[in-house]
Amino acid sequence: MKRATDTEVRPLGRSLASRYAGQTVVAIGAHPDDLEIGIGGTLAKLQRVGARVIMVVASIPKDFEIRLAEAKRGAEILGCELKLLIDDGPRRLEDVKTFDLVGMLDAVVREYQPAAMLTHSSVDFHNDHLLIYNACLPTQRHGFFDLMSYHPTNCRPVPIPFHPKIYVDVTDTIDAKMHSITAHASQFGGRGLDTEMYREHAHMQGRLIGVPYAEGLEAVRMVMA
């Protein structure tokens, strides 16, 4: 029996490079470390195939300088640009009016004109994450871009009804993902939390598509030419 080649199994038309190379992808997380945990491997891969990747961190609720430095280091490891949405000091998202939050994200879309936006999921259990997801939805009125959600992020395992429909092979960027997560030492090393569960989760996702490691995404809107 003839064995299928990688080209036959994953044709160019399905690759990240063919869809996003030379374009801008905006990834939005409520806090530092959300993007690294949720889609660090995908962001690193997008950057490697020629996309401009903007990591938007909405707010830093406390330990502003420490967590900002960690966010900068995480983005650097992944090869992405960092943008802090609320940059005037510690702020809790629940204290921001919905109208203002939507306006800030509208400005991000107008500035970067993304080909895709990646954000939190509607089934997340963290209220700040849900605030970001709901604020991202109306930004679609400003342009035609792919909108996808990543797996809810957490420091400890929690059962979540998240069922991806899109899988990204991150085998070649899993180490960058793990390195970027450990950059957030105040959230993990300083609290005695193990980060290996994120590698294990990526391994489980990879099994679903026959690769060592993958990250899953849920499509909210896809624009097909």
Is 15 within a domain?
A: no
What is the pLDDT at residue 73?
Answer: 98
What SS3 string covers the chain? CCCCCHHHHCCHHHCHHHHHCCCEEEEEECCCCHHHHHHHHHHHHHHHCCCEEEEEECCCCCCHHHHHHHHHHHHHHHCCEEEECCCCCCCCHHHCCHHHHHHHHHHHHHHHCCCEEEECCCCCCCHHHHHHHHHHHHHHHHCCCEEEEECCCCCCCCCCCCCCCEEEECCCCHHHHHHHHHCCCCCCHHHCCCCHHHHHHHHHHHHCCCCCCEEEEEEEECCCC
pTM, 2 dp? 0.91
What is the pLDDT at residue 24?
Answer: 98
Is 217 within a domain?
A: yes
Dist CA 83 CA 80 (whole Å): 10
pLDDT block averages, 10 residues each, the chain of length 225: 46 75 97 97 97 97 95 98 95 93 97 98 93 97 96 82 94 97 86 84 96 97 88
CATH number, domain containing residue 109: 3.40.50.10320
Is 12 within a domain?
A: no
Is 1 within a domain?
A: no
Is 39 within a domain?
A: yes
- Structural domain count, the chain: 1
Name the residue range of residue 151's domain.
Answer: 21-221
What is the pLDDT at residue 158?
Answer: 79
Is 55 within a domain?
A: yes
What is the pLDDT at residue 82?
Answer: 98
What is the pLDDT at residue 5?
Answer: 47
What is the pLDDT at residue 57?
Answer: 98
Is 194 within a domain?
A: yes
Is 134 within a domain?
A: yes
